[in-house]
Amino acid sequence: MLFDVPVHELTAGDGDKALLTADGGRNRGHGADFGHLKNRLRLRSGGRYAMIGRNGCGKSTLLRALASGTLPEWPGSIRTFLVEQDHRIDPEQQVIEAVLSADSRVSDLQAEAARLERESAEARESATERLCEIYEALEELDAESEGLRRHRVEAILGGLGFTAEMQGAAVGELSGGWQARLAMASALFVEPELLLLD
C-alpha cells in the first residue's frame, strides 16, 4: 500500500465549500458522490486510479490537496507531482529550464547553495553551517549534479519529440500540445511515486 489517509472534512477555497464531510455528504443530498471512499483514501503502489465526478464536485481540488500534501495525516515522504489542466509554466522560461525547475525541492536548495557560495569570505563563515545542511538535504534527495540533471532533461525531452532548437526555445513559443508534452516531461523528470493527471 502506498498510503491510507483520512479525507473527511475536506474543503475548498477559504473553507467555504465542503467537498467531503464526516457524514459523507448525506445531509446535503450528495451521499452517493463519495460513499465509495468511506472517508479514507487508499492507493496501492503501482496502481492506476480514475476519479470520476460531475464538473465542480471537487476533483481538481482533491488532486491539488494531494499534490501539496495538505491533507491531514498525509505521509510527507511520498513524492507527488500534479500535471494540471492549464499547465502553469512561465511562458518566458526556456523549455529546459522549465523542466529543471519542476523539481522545486532540489532546484531551490541548489540556488540557495550557489548564492551562499558566492558571498564574501567574512559572510561565508556564518553561511557554512547552512551550506552543510543544504548539502546533506541534497544528498538525502539523491540529487544529481547540475550537468547530470540537464543531460537527463535533454534525454527526456528528446524522447518526447523535442528537437534541440525547441529545447532552447521559450515555453510561450510552444503550441498547447507541446506545452502538454512539456508538463509530462516535468513529471517524468521528477520521478514521483504518485503522479496525478488532472
**DSSP secondary structure code for residue 16 in this structure:** T
pLDDT at 7: 67
Strands 194-197 and 80-83: parallel
Higher pLDDT, 158 or 57: 158
Buried b (16+ CB within 10 A) or exposed e, 110-147: bebbeebeeeeeeeeeebeeeeeebeeebeeeebeeee
The overall longest dimension of the chain from CA atoms, in Å, is 66
Specify burial of residue 10 (Cβ count, 10 A radius: 0-12, 13-18, 19+): buried
The answer to which of 33-42, 71-80, 115-124, 172-181 has the lowest mean pLDDT is 33-42
Q: What does the pLDDT read at residue 31? A: 45
Instruction: Give the single-character DSSP code of 10.
Output: E
Q: Give the mean pLDDT of the chain.
A: 77
**pLDDT tens per residue across span 9-62:** 666 555 556 665 555 444 454 444 544 445 677 888 888 888 888 888 778 888
Assessment of whether the complete model's pTM goes beyond 0.85:
no
- Rounded to the nearest angstrom, the gap between the alpha carbon of residue 27 and the centroid of all alpha carbons in its chain is 34
